[in-house]
Amino acid sequence: MRSLDEFATAKLEELERGSLRRALVDTTRVTGIWVLREGRRLLSFCCNDYLNLTHHPAVKEAAIEALRRYGVGAGASRLVSGNHPLLGELEARLARLKQTEAACVFGSGYLANLGIIPALIGPGDLVLIDELAHACLWAGTRLARAAVVPFRHADARHVDALLTELRQRHPRALIATDGVFSMDGDIAPLRAFAAMAQRHDAWLMSDDAHGLGVVGGGRGSNFVEPTKANIPLQMGTLSKALGAYGGYLCASAAVVELIRNRARTVIYSTGLPPAMAAAALAALEVIESEPDYAALPLAKAKAFARIAGLPEPASPIVPVLVGEPEAALKASRLLQEEGFLVVAIRPPTVPMGTARLRLTFTAQHPDREVERLAELVRKRIVALAPAITTEAQ
Ligand SMILES: Cc1ncc(COP(=O)(O)O)c(C=O)c1O
């Protein structure tokens, strides 16, 4: 269709003009940390494989064994073709780790958020969502067709004020936040949010995609403080520190049963492949039995930030803000010339004016390379960030 292609071409040109066009670049991950791109071997600091478990022998072996025994795909929805016992085993293990009564796995973290929120919240209800929450939490809230009100990032007082003003007008209310924020690496004030939820009878939901495996002794963002917050809806993914693929919700038995009955992305989407459940189970075994290993990504992020002259991070995610998209692309190219793969993050993933490098640290990053990268970032990016920004304008 000519009009369709004209539309696509015009949109792409608009993105190009704003340095916002994205491209898929062929890249092969050859180990948990090294990649091959355009004929070069680069050390990657942009993968969420925090514990390098994508390449862990026991995790791979578990997936291979399950694949041999049970085949590749799940064949149909869990409710149609039958529930693979590995899924039940994985759910029990996740629930135990998060200290909830039950859990439900999904095909991905994105699918989890698309399924959970509309199953619990509907037209007439209220969702308060952190302004910097992940795109799939936003997508889930939009599908719920509720009143959606963003609150200032990590601001429990704003949540309180909004609930005081709005709560009475809606039968049900949900507070949705990332646990560890994916682009900033900070941790939500979960106990303060839980107190607001309690005071106003709202349901707190955390997306801990980036917390599981790497903070709170590997249990996630709700285990960082000595006292846990009461979070009735704890969602996350198997695709980051666990090195596999899939999503989950940990919650009470009643909520999980309702989700299995009402979440459209459970009912109408093919179940998680058994090999992914087997890999996730093996990954959880590593995390629970090797807490010192699980602590390495955050330790490396802190060492990096100290040398680079950046604030101490709360998670293995360290943002280096440069401002404009072109400046972020330039900084990323500079690091690539030095052998590091660090992707530029641009709007709409982050707000306008906050384009950045987003570095993720993993257990196996060699200390010497972390130091070399930190020196480069300090001297050539942090020190010059305003200049890079101005030059791009
Ligand atoms: C905070 C957050 N939630 C959810 C997701 C989606 O998870 P998945 O990649 O398993 O779909 C991501 C990852 O991209 C994320 O960063």
pLDDT at residue number 388: 40
Instruction: Compute the distance from residue 198 Cα to the ligand 1 centre, in Å.
Output: 27
CA count, 13 A, side-chain hemisphere, 209: 28
CA-closest residue to ligand 1 atom 16:
182
Nearest-CA neighbor of 235 among 266, 273, 274?
266
- Assess whether 182 carries a catalytic annotation: yes
Peptide bond into 189 cis (omega under 30): no
pLDDT at residue number 390: 35
pLDDT in tens, 284-321: 999 999 999 999 999 999 999 999 999 999 999 999 99
Nearest-CA neighbor of 288 among 280, 297, 277, 299?
280
Separation CA 335–CA 347 (nearest Å) = 21
Radius of gyration of the chain (CA): 21
User: What is the three-class DSSP state of 77?
Assistant: coil
DSSP string, 260-290: HHH-HHHHTSPPPPHHHHHHHHHHHHHHHH-
pLDDT at residue number 389: 38
The whole-angstrom distance between residue 178's C-alpha and the CA centroid of its chain comes to 8
Task: Render the burial of 121-130: b for 16+ CB within 10 Å, e for the rest.
Answer: beeebbbbbb
Catalytic residue among 84, 200, 210, 330: 210
- The helix or strand, by DSSP H or E, that contains position 177, with its residue range, turns out to be strand 173-178
pLDDT at residue number 82: 87
Instruction: Compute the distance from residue 142 Cα to the ligand 1 centre, in Å.
Output: 17
- Please check whether residue 198 is in contact with residue 163, taking contact to mean a CB–CB distance below 8 angstroms: no
Instruction: Compute the distance from residue 330 Cα to the ligand 1 centre, in Å.
Output: 26
CA triple 158-163-168, angle to 5 deg: 165
- Please check whether residue 236 is in contact with residue 178, taking contact to mean a CB–CB distance below 8 angstroms: no
Nearest-CA neighbor of 317 among 297, 334, 339, 336?
297
Tokens of 81: 């073709």
Give residue 349's identity as a one-letter amino acid code. T
Alpha helices in the chain (DSSP H): 2-17, 57-70, 78-81, 85-98, 109-120, 135-144, 156-166, 190-200, 253-262, 264-267, 274-289, 291-294, 296-308, 325-337, 367-376, 385-392
Q: What is the pTM of this model?
A: 0.94
For ligand 1, residues with CB inside 6 Å are 108-110, 134, 136, 178, 182, 207, 209-210, 237, 239, 247
Residue ranges, the chain, pLDDT below 70: 385-393
pLDDT at residue number 386: 56
